[in-house]
Amino acid sequence: MEAKTTSPRQTQKIAQELGKTLKSGEVIALYGDLGVGKTVFVQGLAHGLGIKRRILSPTFVFMRSYPLILKGKPLTFYHLDLYRGQSMQDFKALGLDEIFEENSIVVLEWANKIKNILPKKRIDVFLKIIDEKTRAIEIKKY
Ligand SMILES: Nc1ncnc2c1ncn2[C@@H]1O[C@H](COP(=O)(O)OP(=O)(O)O)[C@@H](O)[C@H]1O
Ligand SMILES: [Mg+2]
């Protein structure tokens, strides 16, 4: 799926629609430069999943988790921002093996940093800045 948006609201709307289709165990990898709208996208995604809490950028803590009930089943929504991670050691310390599991939904900003350890079955979302308010969004499911 490819789209162009001209406001944060519109980007959230697309993310929200994707959020409504997510199932437990899914991994969503976000790619794109600083300020492109990855966190804006995650906010829409969380909204689509029915998460009411405000989604803050986890940049300084790497990861935030949110409890979620999906089709009556308790799950955890993990929001990671790998921007500040330098080494594989940093990423191993997050215990990714434990969060890429059946009862979680994981969304990662700067997913390219751990490209070689991302699960093969995932949804990739590529974001590009076209101009101040315009973003190109491409969603690919594997
Ligand atoms: N079409 C758009 N979609 C998403 N964000 C947009 C758009 N146009 C402008 N913006 C702005 O771009 C910024 C995106 O910030 P953010 O989501 O934190 O980026 P990232 O997490 O990728 O660094 C916000 O200030 C938002 O208002
Ligand atoms: Mg961000």
Residue nearest to atom 6 of ligand 1 (CA): 8
Ligand 1 atom nearest to 7, measured from its CA: 1
pLDDT string in tens for the chain (142-residue length): 999 999 999 999 999 999 999 999 999 999 999 999 999 999 999 999 999 888 888 766 789 999 999 999 999 999 999 998 888 888 888 888 889 998 999 999 999 999 888 999 999 999 999 999 999 999 999 8
- Report yes or no: 36 and 15 within 8 Å, Cβ to Cβ: no
| 3-class state of residue 72 by DSSP | coil
Helix ranges (DSSP H) in 52-113:
88-92, 96-99
Cα of 69 to ligand 2 centre, how many Å? 25
Pocket of ligand 1 (CB under 6 A): 5-8, 10-11, 32, 34-40, 57, 109, 133, 135
Number of structural domains found in the chain: 1
What does pTM read for this prediction?
0.95
> What CATH number does the domain containing 32 carry?
3.40.50.300
Cα of 24 to ligand 2 centre, how many Å? 23
Give me Rg for the CA atoms of the chain.
Answer: 14
Domain with 34 in it? 2-141
